[in-house]
Structure 1
């Protein structure tokens, strides 16, 4: 290949080893890194941290009796992180899928199927290793089916994953005979209860998955190609990227994260059923969106998605501490999602350019 096609997106050029301005270089508008596209994710993440800090201040104001207790606040921090740990792991896989220009509505159903499958009597006979392997294999396998239908069957991601949502829950219900299956393995059950170095194991799992996801997205060719495909799929194809295979791998990755989530959720409830992880797909997508990932693909961060998960978990915790209804909590979450999508329509560079075009020159 002597050159790139004229319509090749910058993300595709970067995926093939080319690059635009570095972090220390000025953007197209000449305003420096901070105000350029390169600094947008940092600005957004700082904004999310500000929102999280605001929620903590609200908690201190509304329940000073709890926050004033010695050691209570650190226990509450671990409780919040444990609350969002399963959704956080799923959100990592969802981030890759959405950055790649897709969507996955079946993640909750995949967790249910993997959880039911790994808690059958036959599977539990193989011990904790067999249960974990089964959950990961089921998640990976269903994710591959999703990816195959979308990449090679040319189904729209929304339709393919919606069909999988129904089919996976149906299979889980048939396998469990619509009953709750108890986990009799103490090793699995202790994952949610035990800690290591003072940190809950569930939080360790979330941290490891987030770190690996960050490395995969930001430090590997796989991540750069994911961004390229989401930014301009046709340009990515013309640039030599195997779009179909890569897309299938994205859904396989999301399925693998669901398998991990199934083990975590099974440990939390010490059981599994076909109705588990209901609405997890909505929670994961919402967290990814408010974390700054574009629904149209081509841009997103793992750190932003993690902050989105933590914000939603903090809101749930805050409402529970104040005895507020779940309905009110859902309305607040819905408003946050709408606000996040609206914010995506505005960019710092556009605002500065607006003021430049409309500035008033004062002459003496």
Structure 2
């Protein structure tokens, strides 16, 4: 009789782990190849603009905001859930942090406020999913609507400017170290922390276990409901950090921030190889998927192509990625 405490979710056997690692490496190489191909297209179509340092910085700055959200989304999807509220929660956090009352306390309180608001919203979504037993799609859809409405109410549907005395936040975008804005380094720190949390901690192993089979994880002694709440709280925290970055980039807090960010983040995670059913995925894959999308967006802008064509291209990429996932799943 199999001992439930030796489930492969806690410590996978050598061959299985090796197969997973090889599959992940192949996906990563494929994404790197796609980025190289896009770079060739960029140099060929816009030789005087694409390869410039200013354009590379623009790509990284654009990737930073959605990238932080993508890190949180990766955890949620690996854990078997999904979060449609990330864009609205980021907007709510930016609005709450730029209210006059909050700004009077300075940049530190503004940043703390953004992260607390994001974490609180994520926690509510997690409670609805785990203890309220709501389908993640419905729970986070409700949070998306509610957070968007609250952001509009707080801001009175007006854009709120970051005060000049809180210039420390704006400096995240304007100040540069080795040619890169500070917000890019903030993004890198979040990615590194996410990678360590997912790959080198018990929390990460439990995330894979819960996403692979919540019942097996429960039998192995994991508190699945509490872990689910923590996953959504982590996603909310990432939304709060992303709100700080968007405030630095735009010097504003607005209920219109984060429009369709949830779709970009989910798409990046899927393209990066994370299964929508949970149990498999990597932070590196998600970030590579994000960079593919960001470079595509940059190429469309540089070549003056219509936004609708860009959305069509992204939609086709998502469809192909999901079809490849299904083919891989059925062949294993």
Task: Give TM-score scaled by structure 1 length.
Answer: 0.87
Give 1:329's match in structure 2, choosing from 286, 293, 310.
Answer: 310
Q: In the alignment, does 2:17 pair up with 1:45? A: no
Q: Is the 8 A contact 1:99 1:297 kept in 2?
A: yes
Please name the residue that 1:10 is paired with.
8
Shift in Å, 1:78: 1.6
Shift in Å, 1:114: 0.5
Please name the residue that 1:178 is paired with.
157
Shift in Å, 1:74: 2.7
CA offsets, 1:23-81, max 9 Å, x none?
xxx569xxxx5xx33311110000000000000001111122335xxxx5232222111
Q: Is the 8 A contact 2:49 2:55 kept in 1?
A: no
Please name the residue that 2:284 is paired with.
303
Q: Matched residues in 1 for 2:146 and 2:192: separation?
A: 32
Task: Give the SS at the match of 2:281.
Answer: coil
Aligned pairs (5 A) from 1:30-69: 33=18, 36-66=19-49
CA offsets, 1:295-348, max 9 Å, x none?
000000000010111111100111111111111111111111011111112339
Q: In the alignment, does 2:66 pair up with 1:79? A: no
Q: Matched residues in 1 for 2:318 and 2:128: separation?
A: 29
Q: Matched residues in 1 for 2:256 and 2:16: separation?
A: 49
Q: Matched residues in 1 for 2:280 and 2:105: separation?
A: 42
The structure where helix makes up a greater share of residues is: 2
Q: Is the 8 A contact 1:146 1:251 kept in 2?
A: yes
Please name the residue that 1:167 is paired with.
146
Q: Is the 8 A contact 2:62 2:294 kept in 1?
A: yes
Q: Matched residues in 2 for 1:302 and 1:268: separation?
A: 24
CA offsets, 1:4-26, max 9 Å, x none?
17xx8632xxx2xx4301xxxx5
Please name the residue that 2:73 is paired with.
94
Q: Is the 8 A contact 2:92 2:148 kept in 1?
A: yes
Shift in Å, 1:236: 0.4
Q: Matched residues in 2 for 1:286 and 1:348: separation?
A: 18
Please name the residue that 1:213 is paired with.
194
Structure 2: state its 5+ residue gaps. none
Q: Matched residues in 2 for 1:19 and 1:299: separation?
A: 13
CA offsets, 1:252-271, max 9 Å, x none?
00000000000111111111
Q: Is the 8 A contact 1:9 1:232 kept in 2?
A: no
CA offsets, 1:91-122, max 9 Å, x none?
00000000000000000110011000000000
Task: Give TM-score scaled by structure 2 length.
Answer: 0.95
Q: Matched residues in 1 for 2:4 and 2:253: separation?
A: 51
Structure 1: state its 5+ residue gaps. 352-364
Q: Matched residues in 1 for 2:310 and 2:126: separation?
A: 34
Aligned pairs (5 A) from 1:109-188: 109-184=88-163, 185-188=166-169
User: Stretches of 4+ moved more than 4 A in 1?
Assistant: none
Task: Give the SS at the match of 2:277.
Answer: coil
Q: Is the 8 A contact 2:74 2:282 kept in 1?
A: yes
Shift in Å, 1:276: 1.2
- Number of aligned positions between the proteins: 329
CA offsets, 1:232-265, max 9 Å, x none?
1100001100000000000000000000000111
Q: Is the 8 A contact 2:7 2:220 kept in 1?
A: no
Q: In the alignment, does 2:284 pair up with 1:286? A: no
Q: In the alignment, does 2:12 pair up with 1:19? A: yes
Please name the residue that 1:358 is paired with.
none
Q: Matched residues in 2 for 1:265 and 1:310: separation?
A: 18
Q: Matched residues in 1 for 2:16 and 2:62: separation?
A: 40
Q: Matched residues in 1 for 2:29 and 2:189: separation?
A: 22
